[in-house]
Structure 1
Amino acid sequence: MERPGEEDDEPAAEEGDALALLIRRQRKEKRDLQAKIQGMKNTVPKNDKKRRKQLTDSIAKLEADLEQNHEEELKKLKETVPEQSEEDSAAVSMARLELENTQLVPPPRISKAQKRREKKAALEKEREERIAEAEIENLTGARHLESQKLAHILSTRQLEIKQIPSDGHCMYRAIEDQLKEQQNSWTVATLRAQTAEYMRTHVDDFLPFLTNPNTGDLYSHDEFEKYCCDIANSAAWGGQLELRALSHILQTPIEVVQMDSPPIIVGEEYSRKPLILVYMKHAYGLGEHYNSVKPLSDITTDNES
């Protein structure tokens, strides 16, 4: 036998359960969105202003969409109860207010060390992306074409490029490498010092070819002396004048292979086997570069070993 009012109490209980379930689910959705937003922030470097602006706009839209969706869900739940009591209506209003004021669980505090690691990882990822883009561009760029042409030119002479570091000493390092093949132990420092000294003692052979880049005037003797000091004591790049001095110092021809012109040979008056350098105009972003060469057969030897 049913007690009076028992049937009426059951739907009210179900409505209360539905409201509680909805509130719990909406709270969880807010927490999930906060975690998603934190992950999105970690993927964009702070110094990328354009992407940070796009990220801010995306986050604002996600938050607004979720807020609107939650409002509509609460409204629909309210509409399913045509004749709400004042107590039920107040419960729905309180639930809405509670949801709006729900404090999302803050993300765990990140240590300074972790922030540094994440920043380093983001910068490394950005650097790798730039390298990948540059490599793709190089497949059809001037650098790639230059390397292909030089490889073909050298292969007809059974030679290939031997890479030399791009550190300002590349011409002297290439000469040093070539001299090693002739059992000569000259170092970069010695080559630089000897070049500077030779040019000082043969001023008339070199001074007329040096001009001030700002005025176009020939170097003064003071400017020439500084030029020679830079050769000996810095990583100043070397060029044709220095190659001419080195050919006289070593009493050896120096041949420079290049892409679009016949090889340049300085010191042709000497009968020794020439030193061979490769001049590359597009090898590095900084500009001109010299490499050495080695016999093409070294490829097979290296692979077999």
Structure 2
Amino acid sequence: MEEVETAEELLVKQHRKEKKDLQAKIQSMKNAVAKNDKKRRKQLTEDIAKLEAELTQKHENELKQFQNSSSVEEVSDAMDSVSLANDEEKTDSSMQARTSKAQKRRDKKAALEKERENRIAEAEVENLAGSRHQEGLKLRQKLMERHLQIKEISSDGHCMYRAVEDQLTERGAPLSLKELRTQTAQYMRSHADDFLPFLTDPNSGDMYTADEFEKYCNDVADTAAWGGQLELKALSQVLQLPIEVIQAESPSVIIGEEYGKPPITLVYMRHAYGLGEHYNSVEPLKDLANEEEG
């Protein structure tokens, strides 16, 4: 018996087609603008980003509408299809009894493929509605307004320091990951009064002892301990630079504004990976002309 596609699967299939059609349209737009016309190519980059964002938003709205109230007509059609398929199955029951081993293998393969497609469809539906996707969409919009885009940093516990390292390298004043961690720990040790009040035992709620604080600083210097706002504060003082942190749900935070220099810019992502929080760097929004020439 042939399986009937659900309304959800039909919606996902429609979204895939619309994405494919958009990509064809984007390619046509690229072909219509000369590669050496950098002004129009830059505008084209922004137009394409806007089209992609609008299509993503359209798909999200359709998905939410579907999840809130499934169409009665779709359900009725699906039931009619199932009934028709059942009638056909009864008619062909004697033939199915003589199905060859080869046919059974083909049926099993088709069933496995169908199951795989269903899992993909479910994953796409979940991703569209998920926190990670929503966060990424908002961050891309914020960055696009500033002609920036995310520069991915590996998620290995060093992400905050690697993002700062990347920004410093772009400025022509590089410091290694090890140097950044070591100098952060040294600054925190020498200014313990500025950091100790914010470090407490998660079980007792008591402020760290001197020994516990020393261990914390050792971990900052010598392990892949994740860095947060305290470490950013120390880094800002060490580098004597402001550090801006762009977030999806909140206004940007600038640490070390007193230095009055162009800030290092990081992107904070709460839902980036299964482990949770993550920092990325940023880079200029790529211009299509320069990208294609490269």
TM above 0.5, one fold?
yes
Q: Post-superposition shift, 1:303?
A: 3.2
For structure 2, the residue ranges without an aligned partner over 5 or more in a row are 1-96
Equivalent residues in 2 for 1:57-206, closer than 5 Å: 133-206=122-195
Equivalent position of 1:210 in the other structure:
199
- String of CA shifts for 1:196-219, please: whole Å, max 9, x gaps: 111011100101100111111111
Q: Does 1:268 align with 2:257?
A: yes
Residue identity in the other structure for 1:234: T
Q: CA deviation at 1:129?
A: 8.5
TM-score normalised per structure 1: 0.57
Q: Which runs of 4+ in 1 moved over 3 A?
A: 32-37, 126-136, 297-300
Larger Rg: 1
Identity in percent: 61
1:234 maps to what in 2?
223
Instruction: Tell me, in whole angstroms, the C-alpha distance in 1 between the residues paired with 2:156 and 2:117.
Output: 22
**RMSD, matched Cα:** 2.9
Segments of structure 1 that go 5 or more residues without pairing to the other structure are 1-28, 45-125
* SS across alignment from 1:194: helix
2:260 is equivalent to residue 284 of structure 1? no
Q: What CA distance in whole angstroms lies between the structure 1 residues aligned with 2:162 and 2:289? A: 25
Report the count of equivalent residues.
196
Counterpart of 1:251 (choices 213, 233, 240) is 240
Q: TM-score, normalised by structure 2?
A: 0.60
136-145 vs 151-160, which deviates more? Answer: 136-145
Quick one: distance in 1 between partners of 2:120 and 2:214?
Answer: 41
Aligned residue for 1:261, secondary structure, equals coil
Query: Taking structure 1 as reference, are residues 225 and 132 closer, same or farther at Cα in structure 2, changes over 3 Å only?
Result: farther
Counterpart in the other structure of 1:294: 283
Query: Which of 1 and 2 has higher RCO (CA within 8 Å, sep 6+)?
Result: 2
Kindly provide the CA deviation profile for residues 118-142 of structure 1, in whole angstroms up to 9, marking residues without a partner as x.
xxxxxxxx99987775444212211
CA–CA distance in structure 2, aligned partners of residues 150 and 163 of structure 1: 13
